[in-house]
């Protein structure tokens, strides 16, 4: 029970300038089991309040030096857990109202009966116990409310993160479905189209052999060139759709990137593109099909170079972490329009008059086959950075 009073642990301080009152009250309260302290003036009284931290002060209103009212206000302001009962002389009843307003819990008229003193005092102590307990409960409730609020915020944050992750996962599923559908279609279509295309090419070559007219030879050659172009596109499509037979070996990815970059040297030199390659971290070995891996970088470099017709910079950075490898491919090209960002990995999406739009979808397929990730880290009119992440685990792609 919170309002049960443990008298031995309850200190009561009596402040009165009348020696007889001090002694009398002290005896009565000690006999009831309370711990009692005495002070014959307000100053000593205040010091004892500070050092003893009493539950209750019995305070005389009429005292020399500092009077009771002032002492009362001081105690209530500085020691809110210390309750005060005032002693007032008969005839001072109107002052009692003022004392109660100033924070006294009760007042007792002098002279008082022992019985009356104890009863009033104990009822104040009970009220005090209840009030202190209430205060504790309110503080506990506030703390709980605060915790609940923090938890709610945490939950909201987690839900937001989860739904973000879900959205991303959904987008990835849609992307793979697109690729799968495309694969199915492509395999069928390529077969159907490449056969007649082959016949067209053969017959046109026959026509060409019997021609004398130079102008017509030129037309026929144009036809053959276009046929080749269609065939090349179909082959690319098939590459995307079908997973080519691949051979896994230990690939040094640093060497692989270096060699891929070297192949572009003639182009980068001609276009005045400064190329840098840095590699940091532990051994850059990965179990993979080297020709597949190379396609990732070839396609990324091709795109980057295409965006810098008047020169620029191509920076490639390989970081070998313990669990994965990060490859940053940064160009100082024109950047990707924001509205195109969601589509660049889609098959056939291209902004180039001669593009097939297959480059990045091939890159995506390969990166995913190795359990990796690719994203546009940054893109604006000053350039674009792609980030490729490939896990180190020796898991064979499926
Ligand atoms: N580094 C880059 N800077 C700016 N835009 C880019 C970059 N890489 C890709 N893009 C944009 O993404 C589109 C799709 O790229 P993707 O490689 O898939 O196809 P493509 O380059 O257009 O055609 P293909 O690679 O088949 O010749 C490009 O047309 C281009 O708009
Ligand atoms: Mg491309």
Closest ligand 1 atom number to CA of residue 346 = 18
pLDDT for the residue 89: 81
Residue 161 phi, psi dihedral angles, 5° rounding: -65, -45
pLDDT for the residue 120: 94
Q: Which residues of the chain have pLDDT under 70?
A: 1-5, 92, 183-184, 186-187, 191, 239-246, 393-398
pLDDT for the residue 393: 61
In the reported structure, the alpha carbon of residue 350 is separated from the centroid of ligand 1 by a whole-number distance in angstroms of 6
pLDDT for the residue 157: 93
Write the residue with the smallest CA distance to atom 17 of ligand 1: 359
Nearest-angstrom CA–CA distance, 82 and 27: 21
Token look-up 């100053």 returns 43
CA-angle at 180, arms to 179 and 181, nearest 5°: 95
Which residue in 362, 292, 259, 375 sits closest to 326, CA to CA?
A: 375
Which residue in 332, 329, 335 sits closest to 277, CA to CA?
A: 329
Which residue in 104, 136, 102, 144 sits closest to 121, CA to CA?
A: 104
Q: What is the pLDDT of residues 152-203, one digit of tens each?
A: 999 999 999 999 888 888 887 777 777 777 766 766 777 678 878 888 998 9
Write the residue with the smallest CA distance to atom 29 of ligand 1: 350
Among 303, 357, 364, 387, residue to substitute to test ligand 1 (most atoms within 8 Å of Cβ): 303
Fold entry, domain 249-391: Heat Shock Protein 90 (3.30.565)
In the reported structure, the alpha carbon of residue 166 is separated from the centroid of ligand 1 by a whole-number distance in angstroms of 27
pLDDT for the residue 160: 92
- 234 Cβ below 6 A of ligand 1: no
Write the residue with the smallest CA distance to atom 20 of ligand 1: 357
CATH tag for 7-112 (out of 3.10.310.30, 3.40.50.2300, 3.40.50.720, 3.30.9.10): 3.40.50.2300
pLDDT for the residue 2: 47
pLDDT for the residue 287: 86
- 351 Cβ below 6 A of ligand 1: yes
Specify whether domain 168-241 bears CATH 1.10.10.
Answer: no
Which residue in 229, 315, 233 sits closest to 268, CA to CA?
A: 315
8 A C-beta contact, residue 80 and residue 62: no
8 A C-beta contact, residue 234 and residue 194: yes
8 A C-beta contact, residue 329 and residue 388: yes
Beta strands at 11-15 and 273-281: parallel, antiparallel or unpaired: unpaired
The model's pTM: 0.53
Q: Where are the domains of the chain?
A: 7-112, 168-241, 249-391
In the reported structure, the alpha carbon of residue 88 is separated from the centroid of ligand 1 by a whole-number distance in angstroms of 95
């Amino acid at each position: 029970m919170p309002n049960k009073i443990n008298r031995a642990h309850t200190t009561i301080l009596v402040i009165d300038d009348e020696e007889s009152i001090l002694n009398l009250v002290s005896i009565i309260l000690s006999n009831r089991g309370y711990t009692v302290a005495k002070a014959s003036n307000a100053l000593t009284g205040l010091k004892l309040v500070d050092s003893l931290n009493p539950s209750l002060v019995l305070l005389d209103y009429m005292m020399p030096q500092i009077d009771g009212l002032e002492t009362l206000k001081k105690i209530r302001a500085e020691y809110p857990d210390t309750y005060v009962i005032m002693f007032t002389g008969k005839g001072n009843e109107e002052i009692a109202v003022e004392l109660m307003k100033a924070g006294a819990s009760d007042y007792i008229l002098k002279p008082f009966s022992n019985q009356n003193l104890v009863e009033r005092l104990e009822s104040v102590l009970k009220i005090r116990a209840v009030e202190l307990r209430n205060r504790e409960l309110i503080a506990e409730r506030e703390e709980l409310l605060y915790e609940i609020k923090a938890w709610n915020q945490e939950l909201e944050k987690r839900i937001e993160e989860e739904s973000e992750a879900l959205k991303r996962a959904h987008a990835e599923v849609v992307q793979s479905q697109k690729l799968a559908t495309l694969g199915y279609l492509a395999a069928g279509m390529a077969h159907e189209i490449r056969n007649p295309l082959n016949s067209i090419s053969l017959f046109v070559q026959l026509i060409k052999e019997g021609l004398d007219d130079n102008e017509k030879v030129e037309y026929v050659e144009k036809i053959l060139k276009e046929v080749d172009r269609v065939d090349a596109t179909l082959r690319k499509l098939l590459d995307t759709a079908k997973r080519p037979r691949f051979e896994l070996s230990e690939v040094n990815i640093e060497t692989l990137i270096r060699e891929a970059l070297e192949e572009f040297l003639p182009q980068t030199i001609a276009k005045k593109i400064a190329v840098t390659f840095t590699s940091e971290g532990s051994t850059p070995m990965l179990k993979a099909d080297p020709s597949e891996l190379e396609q990732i970088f070839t396609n990324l470099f091709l795109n980057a170079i295409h965006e810098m017709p008047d020169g620029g910079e191509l920076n490639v950075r390989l970081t070998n972490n313990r669990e994965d490898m990060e490859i940053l491919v940064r160009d100082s090209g024109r950047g990707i329009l924001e509205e195109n960002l969601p589509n660049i990995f889609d098959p056939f999406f291209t902004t180039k008059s001669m593009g097939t739009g297959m480059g990045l979808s091939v890159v995506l397929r390969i990166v995913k086959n190795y359990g990796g990730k690719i994203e546009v880290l940054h893109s604006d009119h000053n350039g674009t950075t792609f980030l490729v992440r490939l896990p180190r685990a020796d898991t064979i792609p499926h």
